[in-house]
Amino acid sequence: MKAIIDGHNDLPMQLRGRYGYRVDGLDEPRPELQTDIPRLRAGGVGGQFWSVFVPGDLGEPEAVVATMEQIDAVYRLAAAYPGDFAIACGADDVERAVADGKIASLIGIEGGHSLATSLGVLRAFARLGVRYVTLTHNENTSWADSAVHESRVDGLNDEGRAIVREMQRIGVLVDLSHVAPVTMHAALDTAFAPVIFSHSGARAVHDHPRNVPDDVLTRLRDNGGVIMLTFVAPFVSAEARAWSLAAEAEWQRLGPPPSPADWPRAPRPGEDLSTMPDWPGPDRLVVPEYASWLAANPRPPVTVAQVADHVEHARDVAGVDHVGLGGDYDGTTELPDGMGDVASYPLLLTELKGRGWSDEDLAKLAGGNILRVLRESERLAQEPLWPLSPAR
């Protein structure tokens, strides 16, 4: 089994919403989550980029505060389980953690709104160990265009190009998942170091806005970056996307019951966590009309083989040195059959092994390629700002 270094996991968001940031009990099976320590071990995960996501429609100052809280949750997670997790800020840290039998815990910010259009905030996050920033989430920022909205700045404006250059100057990876193709090209025009896609698919396999076109994959090869293929079913399968859109339309037609705010507030000092509002809202399955619709309209199957199709297409266009894995666990409820949690990576590697992938190429996919990108980013950084570990 190759050590997996996964590009994107939203456990910190779930810890906030479900448990008020409590981290206890993750060393035991947690079926309400897609991630816990036993299943990380079963999946062969040796490194994880924990997403510190906050919604893109938060005001920028509020987004900075919430992102700080998410980063704190990652550090508290690692502190609570020192035998299982180790904070990692660079390639050497990752290799050291894996050698020690721990899961290297890296931090990725999912959305440039968390920077509040401030290079000072970016540099402060880098000093806290943030190793990538996704330029947008599902909303445009004032300086970058997302994949699901009309372009406003032709990809990147001058501020956006300055942010990309500063990210690479200080050794923070530029993540192009969630951005529009015009933004992908603009970032590649600006980049002097490798970029990544932390959790995306291949658009030639399925024409979804969140997937990456072949002309970008070709440029990614020349840039030296990596696309980390995701497992999100609507990104993998056109049939699954059509079903997901139909299911959401039916839910809206029924008139969904009132629910708490989309983004749960953090616990206040001294607050009894049992009094906090539930999240992510009412279970849709308890609405009889909606449950009946689901029973009559089951989701089309999405298979491990279809995920492998995306991986192989990206390999064929960008090259085997430029692919990785970014499952998006605990960030979606729609996953391929049999791949419902972080124990599932061996299923994909077994599928690819059956298609003729060598052990060497599987090791590159599993984690070798993103480790190379981390190391190259460090080499090219003019003023790396991530914290120095005691070993350094």
The residues annotated with a catalytic role in the active site are 8, 10, 110, 137, 178, 199, 328
Instruction: List 9's β-bridge partners, or say none.
Output: 50, 329
In degrees to the nearest 10, what's the CA dihedral of 100, 382, 193, 57? 80
State the CB neighbour count (10 A cutoff) for residue 167: 30
**The pair of three-digit structure tokens given for residue 247, joined into one six-digit string:** 């299911």
CA distance linking residue 375 with residue 91, whole number of Å: 5
E strand or H helix that includes residue 55: none
As beta bridge partners, residue 89 has none
364 DSSP 8-state letter: I
Distances (CA, A) of 314 to 83, 300, 359: 36, 24, 18
Residue 89 near residue 386 (C-beta atoms within 8 A): yes
CA distance 175 to 29: 31
